[in-house]
Amino acid sequence: MVIKMKFYINNGGRKSGIGEHVDIGIITVSDRAYKGEYVDKGGPKVIDFLNEVLHSEWTSHSIIIPDEKVEIEKCLIKLTDEIKCSLIITTGGTGPTKRDVTPDATISICDKELPGFGELMRKISLKYVPTAILSRQTGAIRGNSLIINLPGQPKAIRETIDEIFSAIPYCIDLIGGPYIEAKEEKISIFRPKNAKR
């Protein structure tokens, strides 16, 4: 299978002058969405969330790809090494089935895994469904990029991203990315005092 690596680019266009510009990759991993059997709801859900909470100007690089480990790896490498996204959010492919390979692709191309992301996301989802323990989602770093695996369900996406996002801007500071600002009235992000500008 040859996947055309064509990203849909969108400039959030916010000219607030607060914080620095950030490139964010959003990968929907789904055989069915890729084939057009249903409309992708995961990717747009992530974009809606980011538009709602970010003060920093940002550019989204979105793509829908099938559940193929090699293709996910290629796509992650392109978004990290070429397009220089500081943050990449995947949705889908985190379960236990044969076709669920998003965390495997993520770990295989990353330098460091951050197991706290997966632990916290499972803990959050466990409040809603006991099958949350079946999710293998994780967070990991490649070069100057943070990659986070979110679940595929639009409802589960919002439940988890809301809580983990508090730690993301400071993580991007630490790995050499731009200084991201968020809207305080929408989300509380955390930085130690000496890391605040």
Closest approach of a copy of itself to the CB of residue 28, in Å: 19
Helix crossing, 115-126 with 154-164: angle to 10°? 120
Closest approach of a copy of itself to the CB of residue 134, in Å: 5
Q: Are strands 22-29 and 58-65 parallel, antiparallel or unpaired?
A: parallel
Contact residues: a copy of itself, CB under 8 A: 95-98, 100, 104, 112-120, 122-123, 126, 129-136, 139, 141, 146, 163-164, 166-167, 170-171, 174-176, 190-192
Q: What is the token pair recorded at 39?
A: 């409309």
Q: Give 73 or 113: the residue with its C-beta nearer to a copy of itself.
A: 113
Closest approach of a copy of itself to the CB of residue 166, in Å: 4
Closest CA to 84 of 149, 142, 137: 142
Closest approach of a copy of itself to the CB of residue 163, in Å: 8
Q: Give 12 or 95: the residue with its C-beta nearer to a copy of itself.
A: 95
Distance, in Å, from the CA atom of 87 to the CA atom of 49, rounded to the nearest integer, reads 14
Q: Give 33 or 63: the residue with its C-beta nearer to a copy of itself.
A: 33
Distance, in Å, from the CA atom of 150 to the CA atom of 91, rounded to the nearest integer, reads 5
Q: Give 78 or 191: the residue with its C-beta nearer to a copy of itself.
A: 191
Distance, in Å, from the CA atom of 13 to the CA atom of 7, rounded to the nearest integer, reads 18
